[in-house]
Copies of this chain bind each other. A is one copy, B any other.
Amino acid sequence: MAERVMRTVRDLRRSNRSLLLRRLYFDGPLSRQDLIDTTTLSAASVSNVVGDLIGDGLVAEVGSVGSEGGRPRILLQVDCPRWHAIGVDVGETRVLVELFTLDLAVLAREEYPLPDGCRDVAAVVDRIDSGLRGVLAAGAVRQETIIGVGVGVPGVVAHSPELGAVVHGQTIGWDAVPLERLLREAGGVRAHLPLYIDNGATTLGQAEMWFGAGRGARDAVIALIGSGVGACVVVDGAPYRGTGRSAGEWGHTTVQVGGRSCRCGARGCLEAYVGAEAVIERFREVGPAGSPSGPPAEASEEGALAAILAAQERGEPAAAAVLEETAVYLGVGVANLINLFNPERIALGGWAGLLLGARLLPRVREVAREYALRHAFANVELSLCQLGPDAVARGAATLPVAGFLAAGSRPPRNQSAS
């Protein structure tokens, strides 16, 4: 019963504009002829639609490809430098605002620390608003070229008809914060500028799908391991969110009935074994308390995890044991993803995932092979994420870009003197 977005003959054109625009964006540059061959559109229609796109400044002709006795094909490309998107990463310790061109190259960035976490909503909104104005000024970019703003937040994002996007962030103490309304009231986001708010892990996954380890895959899982453990499940090219938008809670799937206690209250969660916090704790339990080889209490989790890896490097058996166990649980978790989702690709990311993965990936793959069904395992590619843990803002910026490509249109004109 999916409501069609396709009724009038005009929507048909929009759909075809979008089709050509997407192909040019992801696979460009291409000639009109390439478009004719690879889409089912007729030559006449391609010519018409491309003409419109060029007229609207979305596409530009760029050089031509040599011919062998005929008229050369003119190459077309989306005019990426002309349009801009903004991505915002609301982290637990800082707000990052970045200005991108349409192909998501960074033009400007502003970063604001959040000393007391982001519990104070007004402060966060204020930082985001300053950041927006800041990057616009720094990039010397006109508002009219901005196609939209994407925001990645650490929480579940629901949508209500009146308030727009509403954020529920258990870890940062946000309870039903109407972030969309607050941001619009702050004024930095023009009234009719598209504003997309989504979970930060999802936007990171989206970034990996477009530009990183997930590139080209239809069905994939981006597994994110930080202090906690989550996953961005991509089905048919788009993140799958579930009914309450909280799908992908990989970290709280049980891999050991009656196992270690997890901070979620349950026992035997995957996160209780492979999350950074859990790995560090397990090492503390097993490892030498006041060992001279490593600082007994690292200031940061990053440091502590690095210390464990270093200890293993030096051949300390306690570290090796903890990491081996971690690899086994991680492999089991990955196998579960393989068996349930049968994805084309699985990428391990998050700061801890990258740190651990660099060392443990071969062993994780080995364990996953043991636990996953043969057929499904044979069809999956397991790798590390490629964009680093700071791609949340870039991922957030993919949201307006995706909207832009789907609509196949320039941003709505801002009405003067209304």
Report A's interface with B, CB cutoff 8 A: 1-4, 6-7, 9, 12, 15-16, 19, 22-23, 26-27, 39-41, 45, 156, 168, 218-219, 231, 233, 235-237, 240-250, 252-257, 264, 266, 268, 328-329, 332, 335-336, 339-344, 370-373, 375-376, 378-380
Asked whether, in the complex, the Cβ of A249 is within 8 Å of the Cβ of B373, the reply is yes
- Our pick among B15, B247, B268, B342 for the contact of A6 (Cβ within 8 Å) is B15
When C-beta atoms are compared, the residue in chain B nearest to A18 turns out to be B4
Q: Please name all residues of chain B whose beta carbon is closer than 8 Å to the beta carbon of A233 when the two chains form the complex.
A: 340
A7 in contact with B243 (CB, 8 Å): no
- Write out the residue numbers on chain B whose beta carbons fall within 8 Å of the beta carbon of A379: 243-244
Supposing A254-B332, A375-B244 touch, asked if A15 and B4 sit within 8 A by C-beta, the answer is yes
**A343: B residues at CB distance < 8 A:** 242-243
> Could you name 19 residue pairs across A and B whose Cβ atoms are closer than 8 Å?
A2-B236, A4-B16, A4-B40, A7-B41, A156-B375, A218-B243, A242-B376, A243-B344, A243-B379, A245-B342, A246-B342, A246-B373, A249-B339, A249-B342, A250-B339, A255-B257, A264-B373, A266-B370, A266-B372
Contact B235 A235 (CB under 8 A): yes
Extra A-B contacts (12), CB below 8 Å, given A9-B9, A242-B342: A3-B40, A7-B16, A219-B243, A244-B375, A244-B378, A246-B373, A250-B340, A253-B335, A256-B257, A257-B332, A266-B335, A268-B332
Number of copies: 2
Say yes or no: A340 contacts B248, CB within 8 Å: yes
Decide: B6 and A22 in contact? CB cutoff 8 A: no
A153 to chain B, nearest CB (A): 16
Contacts of A237 in B (CB 8 A): 1-2
CA of A202 to CA of B7, assembled, Å = 32
Question: Which partner residue on chain B sits nearest A329 by CB separation?
Answer: B257
Closest residue of chain B to A332, judged by CB? B254
Using Cβ atoms and an 8 Å threshold, which residues of chain B touch A336? 253-254, 336
Shortest beta-carbon distance, A237 to chain B, in Å?
Answer: 7
A366: min CB distance to chain B, Å:
13
A277 to B358, CA, bound (A): 41
Nearest chain B CB to A78's CB is how many angstroms away? 15
Distance in Å from the Cβ of A169 to the closest Cβ of chain B?
12
Q: Which residues of B contact A342 (CB under 8 A)?
A: 241-249
